[in-house]
Each structure stands twice: as C-alpha cells, then as structure tokens.
Amino acid sequence: MRRLLEGSQAVAEAVRLCRPRVVAAYPITPQTHIIERLAQHVADGELEAEFISAESEFGAASLVQGAVAAGARSFTATASQGLLLMTEVLYNIAGMRLPLVMVCANRALSAPINIFCDHQDSMALRDAGWIQIYVESNQEAVDSVIQAYRLAEACELPVMICMDGFLLTHTYEPVVLPAQSAVDEYLPAFHFARALDPARPMTLGGGSEADNYQEYRVAQQRAMENAETVIEAFDAEFGEQFGRHYGGMLQGYRLEGAETVLLVLGSLMGTVRDVVDGLRERGQAVGALRLRCFRPFPAQGLVRLLAEARRIVVLEKAFSPGAGGMLAAEVRAALQQAGSMTPVEGVIGGLGGRDLTPDVIEALLRDGTPADTGTLRFAPAHREQGAPSHG
Amino acid sequence: MDRRDAFRHNVLTAGHRACSGCGEAMAARMVGDLIGPDAIYINATGCLQVFTTHNQQTAWQVPWIHSVFANAAAVAAGVEAALRGRGKATPVVVQAGDGGTFDIGLQCLSGMIERGHDVLFVCYDNEAYMNTGVQRSSSTPHGVRTTTSPPGRLSQGKHELKKDVISIIAAHHLPYAATATIAYFPDLKAKVEKALGIEGPRFLHVLSPCPLGWAHDSALSVTVSRLAVETGLFPLLELEHGELTGVMRLAEQKPVRDYLRLQGRFRHLFDSKEGLEEIRHLQALADTRIRRYGLLDAETTWDTHSAMHGARHGRGGYARAAGPAAGEGNDGS
Amino acid sequence: MNSEQGSGERHFHEIRFHGRGGQGVVSAAALLALAAFEDGYESQAFPRFGSERRGAPVEAYVRISSAPIRAHNQVYTPDAVVIQDAGLLRSEPLLRGLRSGGLVVLNREQRPAESEGEDDGLRWICLPASRIGERHLGRPLPNTALLGALAAASGWVGLPTLERVIASHLAAKGEETVKANIEALREGHRWGLQAEEAAS
C-alpha cells in the first residue's frame, strides 16, 4: 500500500522490517526522527531489539561494532559531525569485515556549523572501506536499507546508505512499505561465521606487520570488486520480487543520443530529471547519470554509459579544499584509464544546504565550455539564497 | 558603552533566539554577568551555542569560541595553557549543556580536571538533548518522557536514573564543585564569586528548566527550578577537594508530586499503575538525597526560605531588599 | 518549474507556509500534503528551519501534482502563501515569488493597513486563526483553521479529506484534540468561503 510518509519514518520502518537486534545511536540533526521512531517501536514492543542511547557517536559506532561482532544484526544512523566522530571505529569495522548497515543523513561539516544538506560528511569517509550507496528518494532509501543488509551480510562489508538530510529525511512523499513476509523472504536471517563465541573462540582485530598488512587491504579491495556484481544482482532480484529497482550501481536518464551528460549523487537527480526534460523539449541532446553506488566506484559502467557523450559535467556537493571535487576527479580518472578523451567539467554546488535550482543547473549546462575543465567552479547561488542573514 | 560598567553591559546580550522562558538563557545571563566581560568563553554544541550564534549573528559581547560537541573542556584547557605565564589572569570559562558534560563531553572534562587546568566549567543542565529535539541524556531523570525514552506499551519513560555527575566530578578532588539553579540567585551568585576566587579546575552544575522539553508553562521556569530543590531532587551543594562543605537546607520538604505535576514530561506517570510506582521511586530518591546530604538538618545560614529573601549586595543589579517582595513569580532577569 | 510540462490539464500547485516554531507550521504542511494524497494526487511536504526552537521563524513547502514529483527544491513561485504569524509580514518578504492571482491566507482578522489598497493581483483571505484555535483547542494554535480557509479558497483539497487526515494524523493526541482540530478546521473553512463570496 502506498502511503505518504516522512523519509525518516519510512527508513525507520524499513529498518524495523529487517529485524535488527541492536540499535544504538546518538542524536544529531537531521537523523533524529529515524532513531526516535525506532525508540518508539521498541517501547511499544513492535521491534524486538535493544535500543541503546549511546553517550556519543563514537560510543554508538562502538556499540554496534560489538553487537555485530557478537552475531547480532545491528543498526545505527548519524550525520556530519557524528560521522566524523565515528571515523576511527568505522575504519575499524571495515577492516574487521563486519557486516553493518548505517544510514548517513547527509549534512555539511563544521566549522562553521551548518545543519543542512551536502555530501561533505560521507565523502570524508570514502576511504574507510564502506560500501556507499546514495539514494534519490525516500522509496529508494527504504528499498536500499533492505538490500543493504543482504549485501553487507553476503559480502562481509559494511554498507552506508547516504540519504540527503532534510531534503529526504524530513520530506513527506509517497512510499510503499514492503510486507514483513516479503522482506523475510528477501533477507535471510543473519549468521555470522566469525562471531565471538566461547564455543569457537576467534581473535578479532589482532596485530599485523609489514609482511601481511597489505594483504588484508588487498582482500578488502577484492571484496569491494566482488561487491559490484552482488550489488547489481541483489538490486535486480529486488526488482523481480518487489517491482522496484534502481539500476544497480548507476542509473541513467535519457542517455540515448545525449551529447551532454550531467552526473550527480542523491536527491539532486530529481531536479536534474526535470531540467533534462525541459532541455530535451527545447531540442537539446542532454542526459543525466546518477551514481547510486560511489563505493565501490562503478568505473566500468561509467565508461560504458558515457561513451557517446561529447561533454560531461559533474555537479557535486563536496570538494577537497586545495584540490577539487572528488567525484569529478574519479570520473576523470576512470575515463582516462579507459582511453577516453572526453573532457569532464567539475562544478561544486549545494554546499551547506544551498538549493540547486533548475535555472542554476540549466545555466551550468548552457554556459560551460571544454576550456573550463581545468578550473574549479562553484555553482552560483539562486538569487534568493545569495542574500545573507535569514536562512 | 563602557563594557566594564556592569550595570549597562551584558556578556550575553538581547536578540538571541532562545524559547520564551528558557532556563538556560536565564542562567547564562546570570553567570555571564557575574563573571563579566574580561574572560574567555568556550561553548560546547547545544542550545546555548545555537540560539546565541544563529547564522552569522552573535549575542556574545565577549571572546567566545565553539569547536565541536565533545571537546569544550579540552579547547578551554588549551586556551588556559596559552595564557599561562602571560602575567594576566583572564578567567577561562566553559559553558556546556548536560550532553557536553555528562555524556559526550565527559572524557575531555575529566582530562581537564585531572591535569589541574585553571578553568571554570559551567554545566547548564536541562536534562536532555534539547537542541536536537528532546532526546534523553544520562542527565535525564528516570521516568521522564523524551523522544528516545518514550513511554509505550513496554516502557514508562527513561529507565535509568539521572547520572550523579557531581559525585563523579568531586571524585577528582578538584578545588571546587557546586550545584545551583536559577530560582536561588543569591546562592548562585555566591557560588560563582567563590569559584572565581579559586585557582584550578572548578565545576558548576546549574539546573536549567526547559519549558519546551519539560513541557511546562514558560512562565514557570523559576517555580519549577525551585521545586526541584525543595523536593530534594536537586540538592544545592558545595564540594571542595572531594569533601562536602556546603549544603542549602530545605526549610520544608515538598512532595515530588508538586514538582512532577507541573511538567508534561512526567504526565504519563499519572496514568497507570506502573507509572504511579515510578512516582513512588522518585519520592524515595528524593528522600535518599535528603538523608545523604542532611538537607533537613544541616547547620547552615542558608535555607530555601532565607535564600530567596536574603539580601546580597555587590556587582550586578540583582540586589534585593529583604522582605516578601522576593519569591513567587519573579524570574530574576 | 513543472507547470508547463506535458500536454493536457496538469494539476500542479505549490504552497508555502510561514510561521514560528510552536505554531504547527510543519504539521499544517504535512496535513495538506496528506489530504492531497488521500484525494489521489501526488504530494510532497517539507520544512526549512533551524534546530528545535519555539518562536523561531519556520517555513514549510507543499507541492500537489497530478504527476510524480521528483525535485526537492524549495518553493520559489508559490500559488498560495499561508501566513501563520502576521507579525512576520513586517520583517520578512513572505510574499516573494507569489504568482499573480495567487492566494494569501493570513492569520489576522483583516488585511494589514500597509498592504491595503495595493492592487497586487493577489487574493487575500484573512481570518483570526489564533483566536479560532484558542476557542476550540484552548491554545492559540492557528494551523488547522488556516488549512480550512485555504481549502475553501483554493479548492485544492476537500474538507472531508482534511477531516479524515486530521483524525488519523493526530489520533495519538486523543479524540478530544482531534475533534477540536476538526472544529477549528471547519470554522476556518467557513471564513474561507465567506471571503471567496465577498470577493466575487
């Protein structure tokens, strides 16, 4: 049944349907409604789980690490500063190959402090060894959480579902929630072979030296490479069972005959679809490509889908000061590796929740030239958002 | 405007965005004006930080820094270290909520105290993570409704007791630690002034009612704060080097129900058998605290009646003549 | 933005709500979106605010459409603006982007003197929504009365649907609260109808 739900509420329902046994979290805007909903479910006996209010995000990450290590399917959610505070533990979880699912409600980083959406937080964790999936809509958030548990547990890799803060978490929009029985069918029970258990004692997180450390990391890399096929397969299976799928790692929009292609992550794709439709109506051969999966990086798929494009524009909501956009850099590298000469223009925008409106996006597509590809460009503000003071 | 003219200068000035009736805003105004503008203020993330520095504006007329949630005590320790040996003793003051003190901030706070930094740490305790929408902290009393300790079929609200942070801090044997609240301004004033005269780590725990999160009438913040003390739930104490050296005696013990009844965060306790049992627990808790600290028998010049009517002259415009004028309905700001 | 797309009649409305924290602005937007959804439309509602703070200015946006809504941008060219706190009119450009012929639903007994007489091409619906809220709910919560007026003046959602949605969305607050909100809604609706009649 299709219902109008707030994104956070929908995600909490999805988590509940996955039957986690431990939920540990620390509140941070804009993730709060997710964990509040889960707390209420537990208080009402609708979710049989331990709900733990951690003393900090560092604590929350540590709690779920312990819980998964002991064999319990677990969940946490955070954003921004909280994600950064968890960083040490998140690398640790990935290094230990623990299957954990987390939702990151994408939000800007301090200083200055800003509670609104951009991708600086999850981008800062792109090297941690977590699978990163960026969702476009609340429906995709629901479906991806469910896929994520299966993915994490099959690959023994932690999965971060990145969901735009406020834009998705606090937005009411139509969502279909799957039935419990259907989720149970798609998502088998969690059995962790390396769980901490006196019957089969194992040491997790031991020491390593130069003669073997690299091999651990290589194994992680192989697991990530292998995950590419698994992500595609599980999304396709989800599509067969539930009638909805998202293209696996990449989702294109009107790429057929597109001379110019705009690449984005997350909910921005919704606006981009409208812009592409508008430009197509005016006879311009424009298309769009959303990276659903940023880690592992879908290099092959990208190269294939961008083969016909004459101009590629990457619009991203994060960048590395002193360098440039991470997404643009990786897209460029993937294309160059494959021998493509198509120039990639990088544009940074939407930082700190600044709205990327159709007119601004259109102007970017209209005004750029190949000569601009070497310069770091920032998207102009929509005329209303350029004004100081009241936000 | 001469900022040293305490009668005309506020450390925390008007125009900030606190909710009406905010106990933390009142407390911060009081404490700030007692400390004065010649100090450096370090603020943890939380209500006070957010409502005073919204979007390129600031209500602070003093040097002020906000880093992240957990580290205010550590940042303050760094400021203090930088000022050492410079000759002038500029007070270094931390302002944090219960989150930045009891939970995420506890590690840095303990470190700062243990190393003996000359820092005054003030905790404005509104008993939950209010800024993010009323989620429970370890400072939230048991039985309280918050969004992460909601009452439900299986729950009566927060299960755990309020963390006894003053005891944890006092166990560091620091020179001075005290509890205070907005309803007893002369007492708060005496404690701030005493703390300012001591060197080393000092800790003030100021109970600050929150009309939004505690769900009480915004005109009742001072009344609610007074009842927290008069019931014995929030004893007013002073501890020096780990020893109890000061206690505000309760002129009379009020039943906890009088306190609970005013606040929506306890309302669900009145609706069920299990809830009423929790109220009995809260009363027992209050009784235990009264016994533990000798709140009914302490030999002291301050008690909950004289502290409201007592005159105290000195800096600031809050001196009040003895008599029935002080008391109910006055919010002291 | 979307309103020129496709052939044929396209039902597409954007509404912007303004108010202060504690006045139920976000609830109002959610209720409107829920009602439109119940009526068979695609809808979307979301807020823009800072942290929890009673009294701080809040905006919320609603889109109602016959086609799926994909974008999550703020509303810049609303067809209607609902103002829950008339005091904000003085300090903020609340009517920015409001389309010609658009609706202003204002929580105030009368249109403010400063704007009276301007032929701005807008339709003003004014009602003492806080007083209505006070009478039915015991506190000056203006949101449901304003929703009723909006529904009457715009015709974008039906009154019975709004009543159903209030009943289910506010169910946890108890039967009395639901009833009281419905009464406020209906009274606001009557004001909206009167204003429409007076204008025509």
C-alpha A168/C-alpha A77 separation (Å) is 14
Q: Could you tell me which of C149, C174, C176, C153 has the C-alpha nearest to residue C28?
A: C149
* Domain residue limits, chain B: 23-309
* Of residues C21, C52, C55, nearest to B130 (C-beta): C52
Shared-domain flag, residues A259 and A370: yes
Return the structure tokens found at B123.
Answer: 């905790």
What pairs with residue C17 in β-bridges? C60, C82
- B148 chain-A contacts, CB cut-off 8 A: 27, 35-36, 39, 51, 53
Q: Mind listing the domains of chain C with CATH numbers? A: 12-111+119-195 (3.40.920.10)
Q: Decide if B26 contacts B74 (C-beta within 8 A).
A: no
Q: How far apart are CA B89 and CA C63, in angstroms?
A: 59
- End-of-domain residue from the set A185, A219, A242: A242
Distance from CA of C56 to the nearest CA of B (A): 7
Let me know whether A271 and A321 are in one domain: yes
Judgement on whether residues A125 and A225 belong to the same structural domain of the protein = yes
Cα of A176 vs its chain's centroid, Å:
20
CATH class of the domain comprising B23-309: alpha beta
Mapped onto helix, strand or coil, the DSSP state of residue B68 is: coil
CA distances from A193 to A68, A74, A97, B256 (A): 11, 16, 11, 52
Rounded to an integer, what distance in angstroms lies between the CA atom of residue B78 and that of residue B92? 10
Mutate to test the interface with A, among C73, C88, C169 (most CBs of A within 10 A): C73
Whole-structure pTM value: 0.91
The backbone torsions φ and ψ at residue A91, rounded to the nearest 5 degrees and listed phi first, read -60, -40
Q: Which domain holds residue A130?
A: 2-242
Q: What is the CATH number of the domain that holds A216?
A: 3.40.50.970
Residues A184 and A289 in one domain: no
Question: What is the full DSSP assignment across A76-116?
Answer: EEE-HHHHHHHHHHHHHHHHTT---EEEEEE---SSSP--S
A93-107 burial by CB neighbour count: b if 16+ within 10 A, else e? bbbbbbbbbbbbbbb
CA angle B315–B317–B322, rounded 5-degree value: 100
Are the beta carbons of B150 and A51 separated by less than 8 Å? no
Select the residue from B17, B104, B146 to test the A interface by mutation, using most A Cβ atoms within 10 A.
B104
When divided into structural domains, chain A yields a total of 2
DSSP secondary structure string for all residues of A62-80: HHHHHHHHTT--EEEEE-H
Strands A131-134 and B237-240, by their bridges, are unpaired
Say which residues have a Cβ less than 8 Å from residue B310's Cβ, sequence separation at least 6. B186, B302, B322
Chain A nearest CA to C29, separation (Å): 9
Distance between CA atoms of residues A35 and A373, nearest Å = 42
For C131-168, the DSSP string reads HHHHHHHSS---HHHHHHHHHHHH-SS-HHHHHHHHHH
Cβ–Cβ gap C72/A357 under 8 Å? no
Residue among B109, B159, B105 nearest B129 (CA): B105
What value does the CA radius of gyration of chain B take, rounded to a whole number of Å?
19
Residues of chain A with pLDDT under 70: 367-375, 384-391
pLDDT at B299 (0 to 100) = 82
Tokens of A306: 């961008």
Alpha-carbon span B197 to A51, nearest angstrom: 45
Contact C174/B at CB under 8 A: no
Q: How many residues comprise chain B? A: 333
- Cβ-contact A132, A318 below 8 angstroms: no
Task: Report cis status (omega within 30 of 0) of the bond before B186.
Answer: no
- CATH code at position A352: 3.40.50.920
Q: Find the CB nearest C42 among A137, A164, A174.
A: A174
Question: Smallest Cα–Cα separation from A170: which of A269, A355, A35, A30?
Answer: A30
Q: What is the b/e burial string over C167-193, where b = at least 16 CB atoms within 10 angstroms of the residue's CB?
A: eebbeeeeeebbebbbbbbbbbbbbbb
Would you list the DSSP string of B116-180?
T---EEEEEE-SSBTTTTSB--TTSPTT--BTTB-EETTEES--SPPP-HHHHHHTTT-SEEEEE
Residues of chain C with pLDDT under 70: 1-10, 50-53, 117, 119
How long a stretch of residues is chain A? 391
Sequence-separated contacts (24+) of C134-141 with Cβ below 8 Å? C135/C184, C136/C180, C136/C181, C136/C183, C136/C184, C136/C187, C137/C177, C137/C180, C137/C181, C137/C184, C138/C180, C141/C23, C141/C24, C141/C184
Contact residues on chain B for A85, CB-CB shorter than 8 A:
68-70
A390 within domain boundaries: no
Residue count of chain C, please give it: 200
**What tokens were used for B135?**
């989620």
Residues whose CB falls within 8 Å of the CB of residue C192, separated by 6 or more in sequence, listed in order: C105, C125, C127, C148, C149, C150, C151, C152, C153
Question: Rounded to a whole number, what is the distance in Å from the CA of B108 to chain C's nearest CA?
Answer: 25
Mutate to test the interface with C, among A172, A279, A383 (most CBs of C within 10 A): A172
Rounded Cα distance between B5 and A42, Å, is: 55
Check whether residue A206 and residue A318 sit in a common domain. Answer: no
CB of C52 within 8 Å of a chain B CB? The answer is yes
**Considering only residues 221 to 280 of chain A, which have any Cβ-Cβ distance to chain C shorter than 8 Å?**
267, 269-271, 273-274, 277-278
**Cβ-nearest to C46 among A170, A358, A382:** A170
Q: How distant, in Å, are the alpha carbons of B59, B79, B88, B189 from that of B39?
A: 16, 11, 11, 17
Structure tokens at A371: 């000569």
| Residue contact C52–B51, C-beta within 8 A | no
Cross-chain Cβ contact A43/B104 below 8 Å? no
**Residue A143: alpha-carbon gap to chain centroid:** 13
Alpha-carbon distance C147 to C157, whole Å?
A: 10
A237 and A306 belong to one structural domain:
no
Q: Is C173 on the interface with B (CB under 8 A)?
A: no
CB of C9 closer than 8 Å to CB of C21: no
Residues A236 and A258 in one domain: no
Half-sphere exposure of C6 (CA within 13 A, CB side): 13
Measure the CA–CA gap between A83 and A80, rounded to whole angstroms: 5
Note the pLDDT of residue B89.
84
Tens digits of pLDDT across chain B (333 residues):
555 565 567 899 988 999 999 999 999 999 999 999 999 999 999 999 999 998 888 999 999 999 999 999 999 999 999 998 777 789 999 999 999 999 999 999 999 999 999 999 999 999 999 999 999 999 999 999 999 999 999 999 999 999 999 999 999 999 999 999 999 999 999 999 999 999 999 999 999 999 999 999 999 999 999 999 999 999 999 999 999 999 999 999 999 999 999 999 999 999 999 999 999 999 999 999 999 999 999 887 778 888 876 544 332 222 222 223 333 333 333
Give, as one character, the DSSP assignment of residue B65: E
Helix or strand (DSSP H, E) at B292: helix B273-293
Q: Which of A242, A264, A287 is the last residue of a domain?
A: A242
Is residue A134 located within the same domain as residue A29?
yes
| Long-range contacts from C121-127, C-beta under 8 angstroms, 24+ separation | C122/C95, C122/C98, C123/C153, C123/C199, C124/C195, C125/C149, C125/C150, C125/C153, C125/C191, C125/C192, C125/C195, C125/C196, C126/C195, C127/C188, C127/C191, C127/C192, C127/C195
Answer yes or no: do A64 and A143 share one domain: yes
For residues A194 and A225, state if they share a domain. Answer: yes
Contacts of B18 in chain C (CB under 8 A): 53
**Residue C126 β-bridge partners:** C106
Contact A216, A95 (CB under 8 A): yes
Q: Six-digit token pair at A256?
A: 């057929």
CA distances from A259 to A277, A285, A286, A346 (A): 14, 5, 6, 17
Encoded tokens for A305: 């889908």
pLDDT tens digit string along B304-326?
888 876 544 332 222 222 223 33
